[in-house]
Structure 1
Amino acid sequence: MILILSFADNAHVERVLPHLHSPVEVIDVADFPRRLGILAYAGASGDSLWLELGDGRRLALDEVRSVWNRRIRSFDLDPALGDGTERLFAWSETQEAVLGLWYALDSFWMNHPLADERAQRKLTQHRLAHRLGLEIPDTLITNRPDAAAEFIARHGDGGVVRKAFRNIVEAPRETLKVGQDEMARLEAVRLAPVIFQEYIPLALDLRVTAVAGEMFATAFRSEPQYEVDYRSGVGSAEVFPYTLPDEVEAGLRALMRELGLAYGAIDLRVTPEGRHVFFEVNPAGEYLFASERSGQPIPQAIAAALERGGGEW
């Protein structure tokens, strides 16, 4: 049995399903606790874990070989709870029960929630990648405007970009070079920490999709206006498979192993001189924009890892 934690109409899941041959159940975590039931027995009642599905079926979680932790949504709590203490308590109790359920599973995870939680932290990624020998941009994370100003001055005009830790739907932020407009608002840094990084000159942007021991590197040669953030210009970019240097691939494999990730979408940049600079790894990053343009069999690799219940780094 393969369990996929996602939601309806997720194209990344839809591309993988045709390549799976084992029984599969796609679960939307948002269905807890109104439409999904938890039955976790221990002690005299025996040790067993079950999900009671909305159609009346029961899913024996002890029979799950692999879990694909693709993308999850917030719990859908009963509206009768209102917005006060009762709702907060219900959310907290549901969170504790559901996490306990996942942690109790003796299954292959892509990726385990604990590994996802740690790996999403940019500061953890940067320090670990640097320690493992990967080149990273000179970076400052701070909520002190004076430290930000000093870092920007040290790298000169146009030499620094600012980026968000995580893009959220309600407040999207693109990666931008720090210019006059940003300098005029530098005092706002005290309101929340910001990532400042040395600007890395561009030859190619790379998306490396790592899947349980396999690595698929895809190159994007973008138009000049997308030199800071290639994502906006993916539609007009030249896209092709790319072969990583051995030492870079070895460093990325070590990073994935240290972070405990079976899956990761890794962003790097190749400079005009041929340096490979690591930016970040997204534990649940998208892969379709790379695989569909490059022809690389990433959906098949995901399905194969789930079928065999793991992979070796």
Structure 2
Amino acid sequence: MTILLCGIRSEPPLALVAAELERMGAPFHWFDQRRIHATRLALEIQGTSIAGTFDDGGERVELGSIRSVYVRTMDDRLLPEIEAEPAGSPVRQNCRALHDRLMVWLEITPAMVVNRGHTQGSNASKPYQSQLIAAAGFRIPETLITSDPAAVLAFRERHGRVVYKSMSGVRSVVHMLTDLDVQRLDRIRWCPVQFQAFVDGVDVRVHTVGETVFAARITSWATDYRYGDRFGAPPATVEPYALDDDLAVRCVTLARDLDLELAGIDLRITPEGEAVCFEVNPSPAFSYYEQRAGLPIAAALALRLASA
């Protein structure tokens, strides 16, 4: 039995997991997106199941021998190997068909997949995911999604400090709503925007790997610590953080409810000690937190894959 890693070998989370698997002596193979020209994936229906083979130009692997998969693929349309190809070219069509077959197999294979495509769907709509988070018992920020400038002004009057960000699954920078922003609010008439009441407190990023929990405290004066350098902020301080047992269990339960073997949960702990949840990332770049806070997330994920 073997493990399959899907994505780009040099991408930090994948590279860390590969290194841990090598250290453990656990066999694994790559679906390397940088080798799409050499990669072949064949599927075959056998009774009530799907079998097949995978070949990247080297060793041929029976899909039935794969016990677990870690998926962290980039948008195949943006791969450097096909960037010069015109839209609709045979090379692009073959690349897309290859990834389509991979995603189909990942949805139906009995192997453990971290994470299947359908489980990542909630993150494509922040409002929808917020409802799921609230249903799991977490407090979420007071939120307004609107294209009406007057509604934004009323929301700001009620809550004082307000932040805004995209409501889609595309990563966006979180900004504080300023007087300068108010002067250009008419622009939202063409595109609804998500506004939230600012939550005071400490940023905590929680990663769950199965039932194992790792938490990091992030200290930064930037509104969005991920992009602090854009606004002249010094690098964020990231350090281990001890969750209380109840909150740790709630995080594991939330990830399980979303059917995620691996999750990155963004919390803010208020001065009163309440955990407010902003979102759950189904494909977290955990390497940022592992390397800065010394959290053995990759080792836990490698063990999870090898134990499936």
TM-score (norm 1): 0.83
Separation in 1 of the partners of 2:148 and 2:262? 34
> Bigger shift: 285-294 or 62-71?
285-294
Separation in 2 of the partners of 1:235 and 1:24? 39
Give deviations 1:240-295, integer Å, cap 9, x for gaps: 32222333223222211111001111111122332221111111112222222222
Separation in 1 of the partners of 2:279 and 2:271? 20
Distance 1:65 1:247, change over 3 A: same
Return 5+ residue gaps in structure 2 as ranges.
none
Distance 1:30 1:103, change over 3 A: farther
- Secondary structure of the structure 1 residue equivalent to 2:134: helix
Which amino acid counterpart does residue 245 of structure 1 have in structure 2?
Answer: D
Deviation, 1:96, is 4.1
Deviation, 1:65, is 0.4
1:48 and 2:51 aligned:
yes
Match of 2:108 among 104, 110, 113: 104
Aligned partner of 2:302 in structure 1 is 303
Q: Is the 8 A contact 2:173 2:227 kept in 1?
A: no
Q: Is the 8 A contact 1:40 1:49 kept in 2?
A: yes
Aligned partner of 2:262 in structure 1 is 263
Return 5+ residue gaps in structure 1 as ranges.
none
1:213 and 2:211 aligned:
yes
Aligned partner of 1:127 in structure 2 is 131
Aligned partner of 2:193 in structure 1 is 194
Q: Is the 8 A contact 1:120 1:283 kept in 2?
A: no
Match of 2:30 among 26, 30, 43: 26
1:73-88 alignment runs, 5 A limit? 73-75=75-77, 82-83=86-87
Separation in 1 of the partners of 2:290 and 2:83? 41
Aligned partner of 2:70 in structure 1 is 68
Distance 1:148 1:298, change over 3 A: same
Which amino acid counterpart does residue 41 of structure 1 have in structure 2?
Answer: E
Which amino acid counterpart does residue 151 of structure 1 have in structure 2?
Answer: F
Separation in 1 of the partners of 2:191 and 2:35? 33
Aligned partner of 2:272 in structure 1 is 273
1:143 and 2:147 aligned:
yes
Deviation, 1:73, is 3.1
Instruction: Provide the identity percentage.
Output: 28
- Secondary structure of the structure 1 residue equivalent to 2:14: helix
Q: Is the 8 A contact 1:30 1:73 kept in 2?
A: no
> Bigger shift: 210-219 or 127-136?
127-136
> Bigger shift: 67-76 or 274-283?
67-76
- Secondary structure of the structure 2 residue equivalent to 1:274: coil
State the aligned residue count: 297
> Bigger shift: 79-88 or 20-29?
79-88
- Secondary structure of the structure 1 residue equivalent to 2:76: coil
Separation in 1 of the partners of 2:89 and 2:26? 43
- Secondary structure of the structure 1 residue equivalent to 2:10: coil
Separation in 2 of the partners of 1:64 and 1:88? 27
> Bigger shift: 78-87 or 14-23?
78-87
Aligned partner of 2:61 in structure 1 is 59
Separation in 1 of the partners of 2:50 and 2:41? 14
Separation in 1 of the partners of 2:63 and 2:258? 25
Deviation, 1:95, is 5.3
Deviation, 1:10, is 1.1
Aligned partner of 2:9 in structure 1 is 8
- Secondary structure of the structure 2 residue equivalent to 1:244: coil
- Secondary structure of the structure 2 residue equivalent to 1:42: strand
Aligned partner of 2:183 in structure 1 is 184
Distance 1:296 1:47, change over 3 A: closer
Tell me how large the CA RMSD over aligned residues is: 2.9
Separation in 2 of the partners of 1:167 and 1:179? 24
Q: Is the 8 A contact 1:120 1:282 kept in 2?
A: no
1:116 and 2:114 aligned:
no
Separation in 2 of the partners of 1:231 and 1:80? 31
Separation in 1 of the partners of 2:174 and 2:307? 38
Distance 1:3 1:31, change over 3 A: same
Deviation, 1:126, is 0.9
Q: Is the 8 A contact 1:160 1:178 kept in 2?
A: yes
Which amino acid counterpart does residue 13 of structure 1 have in structure 2?
Answer: L
Aligned partner of 2:253 in structure 1 is 254
